[in-house]
Amino acid sequence: MAAIGTDLNRFILEEERRYPNATGSLSLALTALETAAKIIASHVRMAGLADILGMAGRTNIQGEEVQKLDVLSNEIMVQHLSDSGYFYALASEELEEPVFPEKGKDGKYIIAFDPLDGSSNIDVNVNIGTIFSIHRKTHGGVEDFFQQGDRQVAAGYIVYGSSTMLVYSTGAGVNGFTLDPSVGLFLLSHPGMRLPERGKTYSLNESNYPGWEEGLRRYVDHLKEEGYTSRYIGSMVADVHRTLIKGGIFCYPSDHKNREGKLRLLYEASPMAFLVEQAGGMATTGKEEILKVRPKALHQRVPVFLGSRREIEELLRFL
Ligand code: P6P
């Protein structure tokens, strides 16, 4: 296992060496993602200051319209991933249709991402994040995005919090890197992340309790009797990051308002399910494993239950 403090680029190259047939495309694709993440992180840091300086939502000193951070983050992702030439197609939470970059027409990969999830939390300085999911290009066209999650080549997130962390997996476990702003490098800080077999917290928006199915209501009542603590930030990346480290269960279930739940399959549920399973946990829609769901539309939603094995297995007995 790589030593704490190993920088991300070296880690990616050392990972690549484990695959003799690797061409290096995925490694370079990941470094393009890393660059976009660093730039987004710098803008997220400035968000509060921009507001104080009266830039947010108005024109800045150059007379340019300052964009909403999620729109800007999307542009940064699209620009850097397109310019890399490694991605045949990009799908974004911010874009109705995929982008097929001219430079990526020979690219081997496609990527779906939420450029800045939880962006409504920016003005209250709550952690937000970027989530990404990488598949191989198959036949070309938008259909390439409708591959099951267990065929992902890589998935991960960047969480912009007290520190900026990049957490990802290429199918050989999960590793977390913390950005050292003094040198501008992501350094390995959480090697070989594993979910505890069971946790002590449950994480979901209890205001939707009346609209949940009966089995879920009984399960959450049971957790309270068992002495579990509730922890819910309302920013998926932050709630999943805590679950990945501390264990327990994160849920965004369907309810009478959101028949299919709220979270998107391609660029929220599927990448997070890939990470959680790679870290020894489980991820289900309540009816089937999230990684086995066959997508039918770019922005389709699914109910999400993910976390420690014990909590998920117990939940399924209640549903
Ligand atoms: P609610 C943020 O808006 C988000 O998309 C996810 O990051 C988060 O898990 C969820 O919505 C929170 O939704 O309905 O609890 O505010």
The ligand 1 atom at the shortest distance from the C-alpha of residue 118 is: 2
Are 56 and 98 within one domain? yes
pLDDT for 1 equals 77
CATH code of 291's domain: 3.40.190.80
To the question of pTM greater than 0.85 for the whole model, the response is: yes
Q: How far is the CA of 143 from the centre of ligand 1 (A)?
A: 27
Instruction: Give the domain-ending residue among 166, 190, 214.
Output: 190
- What is the CA(237)–ligand 1 centre distance, in A? 10
Q: Whose CA is nearest to atom 10 of ligand 1?
A: 234
Per-residue pLDDT, 64: 57
252 CA from centroid of ligand 1 (Å)? 8
Residues 178 and 214 in one domain: no
Task: Quickly state the pLDDT bin for 65 (edges 50, 70, 90).
Answer: low
- Would you state the pLDDT for residue 123? 77
Q: Is 236 in the pocket of ligand 1 (CB under 6 A)?
A: yes
Ligand 1 pocket: which of 236, 239, 249 to mutate (most atoms within 8 A of CB): 236
**2 is a domain residue:** no
Q: Of 93, 96, 102, 98, nearest to 110 (Cα)?
A: 98
CB–CB of 273/252 below 8 Å?
A: no
Q: What is the pLDDT of residue 50?
A: 64
What would the 3-class secondary structure string for 12-62 be?
HHHHHHCCCCCCCHHHHHHHHHHHHHHHHHHHHHHHHHHHHCCCCCCECCC
% residues pLDDT > 70 (the chain) = 94
In a domain, 195, yes or no: no
Domain final residue, candidates 139, 170, 190: 190
Is the model's pLDDT at 249 over the cut of 80?
Answer: yes
**223 and 118, same structural domain?**
no
pLDDT of residue 244: 98
Residue 214, domain extent: 201-318
Ligand 1 pocket check for 234: Cβ under 6 Å: yes
Ligand 1 in contact with 262 (CB < 6 A)? yes
Q: pLDDT of 9-57, one tens digit each?
A: 999 999 988 888 888 889 999 999 999 999 999 998 887 666 544 445 5
pLDDT at res. 55: 47
